[in-house]
Amino acid sequence: MEIGKVLNDFFSAIDGDGRISAAHIGVFSALLKYRIDHDWSNPIMAFSRDIMPLAKISTTVTYFKCLHDLHRLGFIRYEPSVKCNRASRIFFIENG
């Protein structure tokens, strides 16, 4: 899968969707950048401290809200870690 297709699919899906904010777009883009930097792995293993600066988000409340929303809307599958020293697993849902 190439980055252009992932972004095109994402932006096509969110077109006109009032539930998606700039923060959601920032988090999704940061997750994609992190994935690219980690050999295009799926899932990515990431801590909030890895993604938040890339997404330009400063509060964990906003970050986790966006993650949960993106999960609920079917753009990612988010498996939070229950341990603070273990990264969460984030899967990209690839359509076709």
Mean pLDDT calculated for residue range 14-37: 95
What tens digit of pLDDT does each residue of 65-78 get? 999 999 999 999 99
Residue 94 has what pLDDT?
77
Query: pLDDT at position 96, please?
Result: 52
User: pTM value?
Assistant: 0.92
What is the number of structural domains in the chain?
1
Mean pLDDT, residues 82-93 taken together: 93
Q: Which domain holds residue 77?
A: 3-92
Given pLDDT bands bounded at 50, 70 and 90, which one contains residue 5? confident
Residue-wise burial string across 43-79, b where 16 or more C-beta atoms lie within 10 A, e elsewhere: bbebebebbbebbebeeeebbbbbbebbbeeebbebe
Tokens of 51: 């993604």
Calpha distance 56→59 (Å, rounded): 10
Q: 44: domain CATH number? A: 1.10.10
